[in-house]
Amino acid sequence: MTTTQQHLQHLYWRAGFGPLPEEVTKTGSIRKAVHALFRASDKVEPLDSPAMHFAEAKATMAASAPVPTMDSQVAGMRTTPEASLMRRGLTPEQRKLDNEQRRDAFYAMNVGWLDRMATSPAQLREKMTFFWHGHFACRVRQPEAALQLNNTIRRLALGKFGDLLLAVSQEPAMLQFLNNQQNRKQHPNENFAREVMELFTIGRGHYTEQDVKEAARAFTGWSADENHQFVFRARQHDDGPKTFMGRTGNWGGEDVLKTLLEQSQTAEFITTKLYRFFVNDVPNPAHILPLAKSFYQSQYDISLLLERLFTAEWFYDAANMGNRIKSPIELLAGIKRTFGLQLDDNKLFVTFEKALGQTLFEPPNVAGWPGGRSWIDSSSLAIRLQLPQVLFRNAEFRIALKEDENDIAPTVPRAERTFRQPVKAHVRLAPLTQLLAGTAPAEQPAKLSAFLLQTPIRPENLVLIQRQADRAPADDRLRAVITSLLALPEYQLM
């Protein structure tokens, strides 16, 4: 296969968040480009900054408040008993301040990660962290716990799946989100055990209800302390014999995970999900089954699986290029990466995410975001096509965000959820100017479309954009062409 610019762009969009202009002018094989992506992702840099940390308010607790024995739920997001009890002692003003500080920490985490996606050389590590963020979907009130889970995923995103599965399963955020704090001897809670099988490993239809019950017993005692550290509470663990997937023994939680990894169906389930994320929404068994077999034989080596996928000739088939709708995060991170986009108020990125239907650290449920065609409806498409004018022309952005029952403060009045003002944005066009160096003005729209679009532009659209460019002042010509290209439906594909 002869490597083309479109092949490289396809790789950089799927394995990262889009190409930089200077990356597509390099020559070399696909295999060389893939190896460069892995080398750039060798180093693990945790996501962190002072603004991402939230200190629980040390308010005086009501003397009459009973100590809770179960996790409680505040505004639809999981919280620990200690945090719930602490909030009971807050005045309304303190509670409002507590909510605002939590939200600010999550905003800092969100914007910081989006910037990391756009600017980090470790594109593949961040893309895989994003994939696992949806696979191991989790939503909690505690910024510290959410950030810790995110960094655990980042650290293990390209290693062995078994290591990642165990680490995530023992993360306090996940244990809280899936109610395993309530899972005790003689009073088992099946939620955690069920989701580990249905969503994280083997998939629906490959286990029985009895397997769920027995696995729940095995996970009793898996808990966390107030410092967001995993603890095993032996007195809460059911140490009796259990029969799980046809095997009887005094199993614990790690035994259950090991048994699930011994099932080749787990390798097929994970490989299929990766295929749908990186290749095509429609699974192709002829491609998936050989990958799943080698994934299983390699003891679930994620990097080896991805290398096989990205270097397969069918990955670059026309049917697999420009066929996938960008998620809201991929859309925003891609624009930030290509154009060095900066906003005077970075929190507006979160507003864009909420308007488009995907907010980092806030999956809709334990199954994560459905993806695919669900990203596009009449409302979200209108917002997507409006964004170029907002970001490149500082146009007014108007949106009334929907109420979110799972938000930290879900009862915000509509007036406070309505955004209507110009967005002050800054973009860097010099790399695009360099990309076009030596290209005649009449040919620049076509060259830009080949870089910005992953599917060929329609001839009639190219004619319209060329006319718009001809009418624009010389110093505004490039911005006019870019704005028009990004407003095409084709830019929503990758």
Distance between CA atoms of residues 60 and 482, nearest Å:
56
pLDDT of residue 281: 97
Local structure of residue 395 (DSSP, 8 states): -
Q: pLDDT band at residue 74, thresholds of 50, 70 and 90?
A: very low
Q: What is the mean pLDDT of residues 70-84?
A: 45
Q: What is the mean pLDDT of residues 41-54?
A: 96
Cα–Cα nearest to 390, from 436, 437, 343 = 343
User: In this predicted model, what pLDDT tens digit does every residue of 207-243 receive, in sequence order?
Assistant: 999 999 999 999 999 999 999 999 999 999 999 999 9
Residue 76 pLDDT greater than 50, yes or no: no
User: In this predicted model, what pLDDT tens digit does every residue of 91-134 receive, in sequence order?
Assistant: 888 888 889 999 999 999 999 999 999 999 999 999 999 999 99
> Which tokens hold the place of 422?
């110009």
pLDDT of residue 68: 37
Distance between CA atoms of residues 133 and 50, nearest Å:
22
User: In this predicted model, what pLDDT tens digit does every residue of 428-487 receive, in sequence order?
Assistant: 999 999 999 999 999 999 999 999 999 999 999 999 999 999 999 999 999 999 999 999
DSSP for 434-468, please give it: HHTTT--GGGHHHHHHHHH-SSPPPHHHHHHHHHH
Residue 77 pLDDT greater than 60, yes or no: no
> Which tokens hold the place of 48?
């962190």
Core vs surface per residue 189-226: b (16+ CB within 10 A) or e: bbbbbbbbbbbbbbbeebbeeebbbbbbbbbbbbbbee
Q: Which of 18-27, 71-80, 268-277, 370-379 has the highest mean pLDDT?
A: 268-277
pLDDT of residue 469: 93
pLDDT of residue 421: 77
Angle between helices 477-486 and 378-393 (to 10 degrees): 170
Local structure of residue 262 (DSSP, 8 states): T
Distance between CA atoms of residues 35 and 333, nearest Å:
23
Prediction pTM value: 0.92
Which of residues 91 and 34 earns the better pLDDT score?
Answer: 34
Q: pLDDT band at residue 409, thresholds of 50, 70 and 90?
A: low
Q: CA dist 256 to 253, 259, 335, Å?
A: 5, 5, 43
Element (H, E) at 420: strand 418-422
Specify the 3-state DSSP secondary structure of 187: strand
Q: What is the mean pLDDT of residues 24-31?
A: 86
pLDDT of residue 451: 98
Specify the 3-state DSSP secondary structure of 248: strand
28 φ, ψ (degrees, to nearest 5): 145, 170
Q: pLDDT band at residue 406, thresholds of 50, 70 and 90?
A: low
Q: pLDDT exceeding 70 applies to what percent of the chain?
A: 90
Distance between CA atoms of residues 299 and 195, nearest Å:
22
Distance between CA atoms of residues 348 and 261, nearest Å:
42
pLDDT of residue 41: 98
Q: What mean pLDDT, rounded, does the chain reach?
A: 91
Q: CA dist 344 to 18, 209, 349, 350, 422, Å?
A: 23, 53, 11, 13, 11
Residue 416 pLDDT greater than 70, yes or no: no
Supply angle C-alpha 236, 152, 38, rounded to 5: 150
Q: What is the mean pLDDT of residues 167-188?
A: 97
User: In this predicted model, what pLDDT tens digit does every residue of 291-337 receive, in sequence order?
Assistant: 999 999 999 999 999 999 999 999 999 999 999 999 999 999 999 99
